[in-house]
Amino acid sequence: MKVVISVDMEGVCGVSSWVQVSPPEFGGLVSSAEYERARERMTLEAAAAAHGALDAGATDVLVNDSHDTMRNLIPELLPGGVRFTSGNDKPLSMVQGVQEPGVGALLYVGYHARAGSMRGPLAHTWNGFIRDVRVNGSSTGEYGLNALLAGHYGVPVVFACGDDVAMAEITSELGPQVVTVAVKEGLSSFAAAHLHPREAQRRIREGAEQAVRSAPDAAPYSAVWPAAAQLSFNHQARADACERVPGITRVDAVTVGWSSPDAFHLFQTFRMLAKVGEVRLDG
């Protein structure tokens, strides 16, 4: 079985501040010691999940860097033989690789709670401008959007690790088939109580092995299609810009909506609107 691991950073053990997850400015000379430590722990958690998948008999493991610039992984810390992706603007973004033939499972590493979640450390959805995303009336986060896109290719989500708020949201939306490992307890938007990193990595490896072993019995995530989607921003000017896109309707001051025939259309429309909404607010 081929396995894809989507690894973000905000949900990684030891992370609770934007400083820790912000790469140095492109082309700049300033480097953050905290970021460097966080990207190492991010890679080690991805490596732990990869080891677990291999322990379960995975024949091919692809680790997809899914955070910010998507150039965060330290490849030398991954298990030998594992493939990885890096670089932003990949066709399927955070779940690049699920479209490959033979992929039977998607694993989430370092995942965080959706925008607006109480006590979810660094909770957000995609960027700092988005207030809420709803599919058929239900709020979701990056985990839900990515699960729908993976489901479009017949790939189930079987494992997730990150903060406890995100793990509860994933279980509620994606179901108990997803093996979850909470590596930290959210105390506020910028605080958490963490496991020791080595203990977090041990639990991730064990959980990933369990999840991949049970993957053949897991069902891909889906929705009722066509689906009604809505995207709410933190300022009406962002909705102003998105309303000009053909096929997009205005719902209220900060919200736009659209209809999607399948998960691929929904995901790519969401990505486009998230980018269109990145307008300056000074006129």
Sorted by sequence, the CB contacts under 8 Å of residue 131 that are 6+ apart come out as 115, 116, 232, 233, 234, 254
Q: Which H or E run includes 205?
A: helix 197-214
On whether the CB atoms of residues 115 and 141 are closer than 8 A, the answer is yes
**Do you find a cis peptide bond into 226, omega within 30 degrees of 0?**
yes
Are 232 and 274 in contact by the 8 Å Cβ rule? The answer is no
Residue 115 · residue 130 · CB < 8 Å: yes
Q: Phi and psi of 188, rounded to 5°? A: -165, -175
Residue 81, class by beta-carbon neighbours within 10 Å (0-12 exposed, 13-18 middle, 19+ buried)? exposed
Q: What is the number of other CB atoms lying within 10 angstroms of the CB of residue 217? A: 9
Q: Which residues are catalytic?
A: 124
